[in-house]
Amino acid sequence: MARTILRGIPVSAGISIGKAYFVNRQKERRIPRETIPHHLVTVETQRLRNAVEEVRQNFMDARARVPEELKEHGAIIDSHLMICQDPKLVDSAAKNIADRAITAEWALERSIDTIGKAFSAIDDPYIRDRMQDVRVVGDKIMQALIGVPKPADLPSGRRVLMAHDLTPADAIELELSRIMSFATAEGGKTSHTGILARSLQIPAIVGVEDLEDSIRDGDLVIIDALKGLIFIDPSEEELAHYSDRKYQFEDYQKAIVKQCHLPAETVDGYRLDVCANIELAEELVQVKDNGGQGVGLYRTEYAFFNKKKMPDEEMLYEEYTTLAEQLAPGKVILRTLDVGADKLLDEQAMLEEANPALGLRGIRFCLRYQNIFRMQLRAMLRASVHGNVSIMFPMISGLKELRQARFILNSVKSELDAEGLAYNPNIPVGIMIELPSAVMIADTLAREVDFFSIGTNDLIQYSLGIDRTNKHVSYLYQPLHPAIVRSIKYVIDAAHKEGIEASVCGEVASDPYCVPILMGMRVDGISIAPQAIPGIKRIIRQIDMEECIELLGDVLTHATVSRINTKVRKRIFKRFPEELSFFASLIEQDDITEP
């Protein structure tokens, strides 16, 4: 067995074996947490501003040197540049220097920690991972203050890169062709580190605990980015096993990518839409390359998070039009804002709510800040003439919110009519079903919208009352809990009864054990991460609806999670042994022992 095994979050599938090389090892830094004489406050503040200017210039240089393989990440570097230029972070740190008479390093650390505490209370993993962008910029400023040298050139040969974090700007500094894989201490599933790895098509694991303490330069490591494991100094048996697995996975990937543009149709003719969840227009390349039929969830928050000032209608119109034109005739579902995005770096505003996950987010934010909502709706409506565009409202809890949102939408349509601006008057309007209250009245809501999209990530957490990021209760995050299975089925049935479509987005929709159950419910479509599309489409093409309906019926007869999981694992793995050996499923590990 390996001397040490580390665990993290797999964000770009694959396996690699090689020698480790560390860059940006944060634990080696010494942050001077010291007070300073008051007459040096001005000098210390200028040190801070000089460091910010150095980092800003480095980001600009990196932006000018973006290579072809990273061209879609220019927008990410732009976002880091915008955060660097935003006065709020710097002004907050400068205020700490003045008020507390402390070093610039300590002041910056305090400001970032304050912002981080606010973001850590947010339930949505996408929003939490945007805090990582703030930390990236703060870390670069800290390096400039402390005087950390830039990464040296990689040693000879290809290496497994290890880092506290890795950004597109960092990657540009290195020789990309010699990075076989990487692992970082920071990052999450939706962080830009993961997007970077998927673009480079190399295995990657993020959020690895004890990474910096456990690995030295030159250590032989195995990166299992299928399961999220790192083996340090592996045994001969493990090396042999993973060498075989590596070639098996690469052959499997070649096979599924060749078939990814075939329809997602079962052997008995049942077809469903397989679309992608994305946040950047630059990700459209991945959607198309992986056989996505459209975008089932476009997270519009990114444009608001990563601008120096609030984006205007024209900026949003251009962004949405690009999506619509490039995907036509494929559909694009634009989700309206799901966060108070204009307060990204406003610490006080972020901290006003004791529980942001249950506070002013989603449609609640939009109904309160109608000027932002109306601007976004105008841009969406105008873009609708350029392709197959739909609008979706998040976090709907009841009929009143839905009707208020639709009233505003109709008002915006009237404005555009008066101005002579074109739009699709019959643009489909749907809602996210992610709250238990929406599930319970799905039959009523279905009469007033054109489609449902079931957001299983939030639905599971709100229904089961758990935070999946809390390691003490994460074992309770059970996608096949009887309450969740019945809730999803009820929503789909309610939609079909009223003649509208129901799709599922969230991790459940990309889980090979769960997808056949969703198909048994006759779900109309799924929306998943682009890189998951080829494998899921392959499974769909090898199964028939009779099997799926039978499996669902069996699942509905059981009252406990463990019995459902055991039954599903046994049947599905027997059916797809090769495919499932390359997937990390949500239900593979069942930590609950039930009678």
Q: Show the DSSP H helices in 352-471 as ranges.
A: 363-368, 370-383, 399-419, 436-440, 442-445, 456-464
Catalytic annotation present for 192: yes
Please report, in range form, the residues annotated as the binding site for Mg(2+).
434, 458
How many Cα neighbours within 13 Å face the side chain of 454? Answer: 34
**Could you say which of 192, 275, 366, 548 is catalytic?**
192
Query: What does the pLDDT look like over 510-553, one tens digit per residue?
Result: 989 999 999 999 999 999 988 889 999 999 999 999 999 999 99
Residue 109 CA: distances (Å) to CA of 33, 334, 400: 9, 36, 43
Mean pLDDT of the chain: 85
Query: What does the pLDDT look like over 172-194, one tens digit per residue?
Result: 676 667 789 999 988 776 566 77
Helix (H, G, I), strand (E, B) or coil at 65: coil
Give the per-residue pLDDT at 347.
41
Q: For residue 547, give the amino acid letter.
A: E
What structural domains does the chain harbor? Answer: 4-26+151-241 (3.50.30.10), 30-146 (1.10.274.10)
Give the per-residue pLDDT at 2.
44
Helix (H, G, I), strand (E, B) or coil at 104: helix
pLDDT > 70: percent of the chain: 84
Residue 18, C-beta contacts closer than 8 angstroms, at least 6 positions apart: 157, 158, 159, 160, 180, 181, 220, 221
Please report, in range form, the residues annotated as the binding site for phosphoenolpyruvate.
299, 335, 457-458, 468
Per-residue tokens: 214: 């456990």
Q: Show the DSSP H helices in 456-481 as ranges.
A: 456-464
Among 110, 100, 92, smallest CA distance to 38 is for 100
Residue 19 has pLDDT above 90, yes or no: yes
